[in-house]
Amino acid sequence: MEKIKLFDKTFRLFIRNAEIEAAIDKVAEQINKENEDCCDIPVILCVLNGSMMFTSALMKRFTFNCELVTIKLASYAGTSSTGEVKELMGFTADVRGRRVYVIEDIVDTGTTIVELEKKLKEHGAASIKICTLLFKPESYHKDLPIDYVGISIPKAFIVGYGLDYNEVGRNFEDIYVIDEEGDAPRMKYYVLFGPPGAGKGTQASAMVERYGLHHISTGNLLRKEIAAGSELGLRAKALIEEGSLVPDEVVEGMIASEFRSVKGVNGFLLDGFPRTIAQAKALDEMLASTGEEVTAVVSIMIPDSMIVERISGRAAVEGRADDADVSVIRHRIDTYHAQTEPEITYYKKSGKYFEVDGVGTIDQVRERIFELVDRF
């Protein structure tokens, strides 16, 4: 097929299967030659889910004895000062004193393989070699060498042969790239999710600077409209002064006004809206009226235990008594989950929901967000 459609994106043929197979032949020949006279049994480490097809094709070409192991990377918190621990999910092999070949579908920024190499060394691996089907040299700035490369490609978002767009597209035997003509660049509309303490404010600023976005925070927007004395602002002010909640239609009106009035940006980053299914549907209708749509929902994920740790720590520094009460923090967490989980289901159905691991340093989380948003 020359073109495929996955959710809201059109992809055109980029690398045919014949070229992929030839690249795999080349890599397999290199690894086979390295293992001609070896008597040990190395470990072939398949990084799920993307490298399954590549690993399978390589294994069929190997002429030496080897042990296949599959892994996933996950994060959790609470055992180090930075709050970051990388866990090898499903990793049961004993690699002590053994040679390990890490098999990846694609290496771009290299964040995953650097963390993985670190963990394999901690597990006692004698040597670690990185093998990838696809490599983006423009994106890679790590010191860790890539030992075997099938095909080098430019910075682009691709699918097929194990690579996915929001978990679909892995099954195609060819590789496809976003069709710039079929999907002409247009205004971007990002929704930022994340619980209290996830670092949304910090990461929102980085996204705004990198992608030329206008940040819309509902709280700031209310204050701006009230200060400007606009019709919507006056209505909101009256409601707030009488102790009433500002209704959805007022907030939606302010956001629509912001969309219309702000010029010279590449798109908008919505923070704090939508908070309910009704608001999500209203946003879709608002954008559809001008032929636009939500580009992606970026959800910064951290475990509940870390939320408590971060907010209570912030309270101690800033002297905020309300944030020091663990029961109050847990109530905020429960409210967040109750509000956002239905929205997550809503956006997953359209293929627009994407999660980013929020555990780690600010720079590490930022790199993960950039790696995701660069696709769009």
145 within domain boundaries: yes
229 within domain boundaries: yes
Residue 159, both tokens: 């699918």
Which residue in 142, 186, 320, 330 is the catalytic one? 320
What percent of the chain stands above pLDDT 90?
Answer: 46
Is position 210 annotated as part of the catalytic site? no
User: Does 83 have pLDDT greater than 50?
Assistant: no
Indicate if 82 and 162 belong to the same structural domain.
Answer: yes
Nearest to 105 by CA among 163, 26, 22, 156: 163
Is position 332 annotated as part of the catalytic site? yes
183 within domain boundaries: no
Indicate if 174 and 243 belong to the same structural domain.
Answer: no
Residue 356, both tokens: 């980013």
Report the number of distinct structural domains present in the chain: 2
Which residue in 121, 223, 224, 275 is the catalytic one? 275
Domain stops at, among 121, 156, 178:
178
305 within domain boundaries: yes
Residue 304 CB-density burial (10 A; 0-12 exposed, 13-18 middle, 19+ buried): middle
Indicate if 164 and 192 belong to the same structural domain.
Answer: no
Indicate if 68 and 209 belong to the same structural domain.
Answer: no
Indicate if 21 and 161 belong to the same structural domain.
Answer: yes
Q: Mind listing the pLDDT tens digit for each residue in 307-345?
A: 888 777 765 555 555 555 778 778 878 877 887 788 989
Domain extent, residue 258, equals 188-373
User: Residue 348: which CATH number?
Assistant: 3.40.50.300
CA dihedral 104, 106, 112, 115 (to 10 degrees): 50
Which residue in 121, 314, 348, 375 is the catalytic one? 314
Domain stops at, among 120, 143, 178:
178
Q: Mind listing the pLDDT tens digit for each residue in 3-62?
A: 999 987 899 999 999 999 999 999 999 999 999 999 999 999 999 889 999 999 999 999
Instruction: Give CA–CA dist 173/15, Å, rounded.
Output: 10
Indicate if 121 and 74 belong to the same structural domain.
Answer: yes
Please report where in the chains the tokens 């709280």 appear, as a residue: 219
Domain stops at, among 178, 211, 242:
178
233 within domain boundaries: yes
Indicate if 82 and 33 belong to the same structural domain.
Answer: yes
Q: Mind listing the pLDDT tens digit for each residue in 239-290?
A: 777 766 677 887 888 888 888 888 889 999 999 889 889 999 999 998 887 7
Name the pTM for this structure: 0.58
Indicate if 271 and 170 belong to the same structural domain.
Answer: no
Is position 314 annotated as part of the catalytic site? yes
Compute the mean pLDDT over every residue in the chain, rounded to the nearest whole number.
Answer: 85
47 within domain boundaries: yes
Indicate if 206 and 352 belong to the same structural domain.
Answer: yes
Q: Pick the range with the lowest mean pLDDT from 88-92, 95-99, 151-155, 317-321.
A: 317-321
Instruction: Provide CB contacts within 8 A for 194, sequence distance 6+.
Output: 200, 299, 300, 301, 302, 358
240 within domain boundaries: yes
User: Does 180 have pLDDT greater than 70?
Assistant: no
Residue 361 CB-density burial (10 A; 0-12 exposed, 13-18 middle, 19+ buried): exposed
Task: Indicate the SS3 state at residue 339.
Answer: helix
Indicate if 107 and 194 belong to the same structural domain.
Answer: no
Is position 223 annotated as part of the catalytic site? no
Indicate if 211 and 269 belong to the same structural domain.
Answer: yes
Mean pLDDT of 293-305: 91
The single-letter DSSP state of residue 239 is H
User: Does 149 have pLDDT greater than 70?
Assistant: yes
Is position 98 annotated as part of the catalytic site? no
Mean pLDDT of 166-189: 82
198 within domain boundaries: yes
User: Does 183 have pLDDT greater than 60?
Assistant: no
CA distances from 5 to 2, 35, 155, 165, 176 (A): 11, 42, 20, 10, 10
Indicate if 171 and 236 belong to the same structural domain.
Answer: no
Instruction: Give CA–CA dist 146/107, Å, rounded.
Output: 9
Residue 249 CB-density burial (10 A; 0-12 exposed, 13-18 middle, 19+ buried): exposed
Which residue in 200, 235, 310, 368 is the catalytic one? 200
Which residue in 98, 332, 352, 366 is the catalytic one? 332
User: Residue 150: which CATH number?
Assistant: 3.40.50.2020
